[in-house]
Structure 1
Amino acid sequence: MISLKPAQLSTESRTRTKRFVFLDNLRIFLTILVIAHHAAQPYGPTGGRWLLFNPERAQILGAFFAVNAGFFMGLFFLISGYFLPASFNRKGASLFLQDRLLRLGIPIVILVSLVIPWVLYQADLPSLSFWQFLSQQYWRMGALEFAHLWFLVHLLVYAVGYTLWRWLRRSQPRPTTQLNPPSHRWIALYALGLAIVTFIIRIHYPIDAWVKILGFIPSEVAHLPQYASLFLIGILAYRHDWLNRMPSRRALLWLGIGLGAATLRYGYTGFGSDALPDLFVGGGWDGRSLLTSLWESCLCVGLCLGLLVLFRDYLNQPSRFQKMLAANAYTTYLIHIFIVIGIQFLVAPYPLHPFLKFVVVTVISTPLCFLLSQGLRQLPFASRVL
């Protein structure tokens, strides 16, 4: 079993409280943003699949989708990578993997095998019984629907990969030198490199094109370079304490770049698709795809770095309400999509503007998800998983 020396564990435990409040607050913010993103699916020009669609669409939600997809799951991966080494160091390889299988594997199995197919069955109501639908259609090889749980599958794969990497390096001494936080030059080089790799990947795998890597890992390949690299950066950030040591002025400058990129996308959509050519595309071998990759890379790097330091500097104080939200953020992520879809079906008959429907679904779903999460976590044995 791989573990740290007691003195090293003591140092980590002393700094953990200082770090986790703003990261918890950021996870709460991202979780709410995920709820809003899925609440908007029937009402905007999305390229993805959904169970229902409004006849009218609010074009501004296209920018909402693009900006969200450009950074928020990447930031989730960065935060997950940041927490990984400390968890591994405390538990050792065996207990670490057991914990990951429990926390990630059980929700995946239950939701993918039973809950998601039940939602699909209720939406379609085929002539088959539910168990016939499961056995004859849903449980066929390659027919499983992971929906938002693809994120958990990736985290589980990364956890196994990290464990293997630590095992391969078990005999090597732990380095004691800390690297300084990345300078503007290195941040810009990372953004440029991410843009180039993303452009190359999207020649064959455009945005919203999903595949199952190795037959079981659901992946939107177009965003994999962002997700994998930010996960690794999260591990480095923990090892070298970058989140605490990153200068505020440096990060806030990049926040300005990210917000500028987001404003550009919203402003471009605001002019109307008929007035201007479509410069933002999901892939292909042309200048527009390269432009989209560059834009998304600047947006991602700017917002990820900037929001981390913004929350560190200004949103790092705990409260009872904050602790309740943070404790329920993971469970809320697991269940939110089912609540959102239910509310969407309830508001579907009403003749409201699509943007107003989006607002209504978001406002109702968000507190309801957190409240239901609080209740679910009180069930017997649920605390070990949720």
Structure 2
Amino acid sequence: MSHSTAAAPPSERLHALDALRGGALLLGIVLHAALSFVPASAQFWFVRDTHPSLLLGLVSFTIHVFRMTTFFLMAGFFARMSFHRRGTRDFVRDRLQRIGLPLVIGWPIIFTPVSLIVIWAAYLPNGGPIHGVRNWPPVLPNFPLTHLWFIYVLLELYVAMLLVRGAIVWLDASGNWRAVLDRLFAGIMRNPLAPLVLAIPIGIAFSLDQRWVNAMGVRTPDQSLITNAQAWIGFGTAFGVGWLLHRQADLLRLLERRRLPHLLLAVVLILISFVLSGVMLSAPGAPKLPFSFATLKLVCVVLYAPAIWISTFAVIGLALRFMSGFSPTWRYLADASYWLYLIHLPIVMALQVALSQLNWPGLIKFAIILGIAIPPMLASYHLLVRFTIIGAVLNGRRAPREAVPAAEVAGPVAP
């Protein structure tokens, strides 16, 4: 039974947000499983299935709009909670253990099979390395972080947060500046136009990127150790909003109350943006458009940047409304989501290659990929991770956690 945040205590809201954090990671598995079926996948994925699906293209596009912004907003929210609960030294130690160590150990373990699968796909008529992608063998600063880029960016944001917070505390000993910042942030969040205001920084970044198309969303730093400005702006803004939101957690009630307007507007903006993405991707080789590509891009920016924040607010509001209260199922999936996301990519990729040439409908093959991949991944979590040293590293504890309050939730505090 769900509870409204208007009547729920803070711990109830945290259950919802932690479930949303885990859901953002699990949606990443769905997203990657769908990419080989996206009609334009040859431009950004290593294999294109012989039976592309427009529906799966819409599914992947929709997930891509809000997933990582939602994740990094949750990251900032839970980072501040963890920081004030642990203190600086323990917070740094905890982040290095649960974020830094999985990156250092996990990257070679994940990248080796991923490379072999890409080589396998290269023997297919519709597979192989993505056009224009270099970095093999990896040469610094170019470095194929693959899907683990989010961990790398999280570490950067933690460092930036500690530096900025330290400077503010030093310069603002009285707390007056922080009080002004809180009032300014609350004023923005209470305004129905808040998503439009928050969309301005990333919208400017999109406009300045000559190669940007809305199908790529925020440009991710998955091929370099130097995080691009677009990722810093888009995900850094989300992280900062999450941090400030934790300072005034009652503002979450606004997102719950506005969930339906946000949801309806998000659906409209995403559908229009999806249609325009096809126009943008086909524009270079298409007959002359009745308007310039620059005009098309500007329209896409004006629609897509607000769609990011409106859809992010929509899913947060929906989570607060329908996922508050303790749920053993969501608690378990939230615990497992970090491990599942870390290991899923080579498994999903191998299944995509194996099925890519079969003369079956794309939706059927997509369902098979998820149906085959997820059960053994969940089993590996339960048998090899949940109560082992691996689980202690990733989740910070080695005992059953069903009865643990949401305020003690572990995981990649936040993807």
TM-score by length of 2: 0.74
Match of residue 200, structure 1, among 194, 207, 230: 207
Alignment of 1:174-213 (within 5 A): 174=175, 175=178, 179=183, 180=186, 182-191=189-198, 193-194=200-201, 196-203=203-210, 208=216
Per the TM alignment, residue 364 of structure 1 is displaced from its structure 2 partner at its CA by: 3.2
Per the TM alignment, residue 196 of structure 1 is displaced from its structure 2 partner at its CA by: 3.7
Per the alignment, residue 72 of structure 2 pairs with 77
Per-residue CA shift, 1:279-328, capped at 9, x if unaligned? xxxxx971111111122123212211111111111221222222111111
Which residue identity is paired with 1:156? Answer: L
Match of residue 30, structure 1, among 24, 30, 54: 24
Match of residue 46, structure 1, among 26, 41, 44: 41
In the alignment, is the contact (CA less than 8 A) between 2:190 and 2:254 conserved in 1? no
Q: Secondary structure at the match of 2:169?
A: coil
Q: CA 1:314 to 1:243, structure 2 compared with 1: closer, same or farther past 3 Å?
A: farther
% identical aligned pairs: 22
How many residues align structurally?
Answer: 354
1:322 aligns with 2:334: no
Per the TM alignment, residue 211 of structure 1 is displaced from its structure 2 partner at its CA by: 5.7
In the alignment, is the contact (CA less than 8 A) between 2:76 and 2:239 conserved in 1? yes
Q: Which consecutive unaligned segments of at least 5 residues does structure 1 have?
A: 1-13, 127-135, 279-283
Per the alignment, residue 262 of structure 1 pairs with 270
In the alignment, is the contact (CA less than 8 A) between 2:276 and 2:300 conserved in 1? no
Per the alignment, residue 88 of structure 2 pairs with 93
Which residue identity is paired with 1:240? Answer: Q
In the alignment, is the contact (CA less than 8 A) between 1:38 and 1:337 conserved in 2? yes
Q: CA 1:189 to 1:205, structure 2 compared with 1: closer, same or farther past 3 Å?
A: closer
Q: Which consecutive unaligned segments of at least 5 residues does structure 2 have?
A: 1-7, 122-134, 287-291, 395-415
Per the alignment, residue 150 of structure 1 pairs with 149
Per the TM alignment, residue 15 of structure 1 is displaced from its structure 2 partner at its CA by: 6.3
Q: Measure, in 2, the Cα distance between the counterparts of 1:288 and 1:266.
A: 13
Q: Measure, in 2, the Cα distance between the counterparts of 1:75 and 1:188.
A: 13
Q: Measure, in 2, the Cα distance between the counterparts of 1:58 and 1:27.
A: 28
Q: CA 1:352 to 1:262, structure 2 compared with 1: closer, same or farther past 3 Å?
A: same
Q: Which moved more, 1:170-179 or 1:313-322?
A: 170-179
Which residue identity is paired with 2:152? Answer: V
Q: Measure, in 2, the Cα distance between the counterparts of 1:212 and 1:51.
A: 14
Per the TM alignment, residue 241 of structure 1 is displaced from its structure 2 partner at its CA by: 1.2
Per the TM alignment, residue 78 of structure 1 is displaced from its structure 2 partner at its CA by: 0.6
Q: Measure, in 2, the Cα distance between the counterparts of 1:125 and 1:39.
A: 17
In the alignment, is the contact (CA less than 8 A) between 2:144 and 2:222 conserved in 1? no
Q: CA 1:233 to 1:242, structure 2 compared with 1: closer, same or farther past 3 Å?
A: farther
Per the TM alignment, residue 253 of structure 1 is displaced from its structure 2 partner at its CA by: 1.5
Which residue identity is paired with 1:26? Answer: L
Per the alignment, residue 303 of structure 2 pairs with 295
Per the alignment, residue 365 of structure 1 pairs with 373
Q: CA 1:218 to 1:334, structure 2 compared with 1: closer, same or farther past 3 Å?
A: farther
Alignment of 1:9-28 (within 5 A): 17-28=11-22
Q: Secondary structure at the match of 2:297?
A: helix
Q: CA 1:326 to 1:195, structure 2 compared with 1: closer, same or farther past 3 Å?
A: closer
In the alignment, is the contact (CA less than 8 A) between 1:28 and 1:325 conserved in 2? yes
- Give the structure, 1 or 2, with the largest relative contact order (CA under 8 Å, sep 6 or more): 2
CA-based RMSD of the aligned residues comes to 3.4
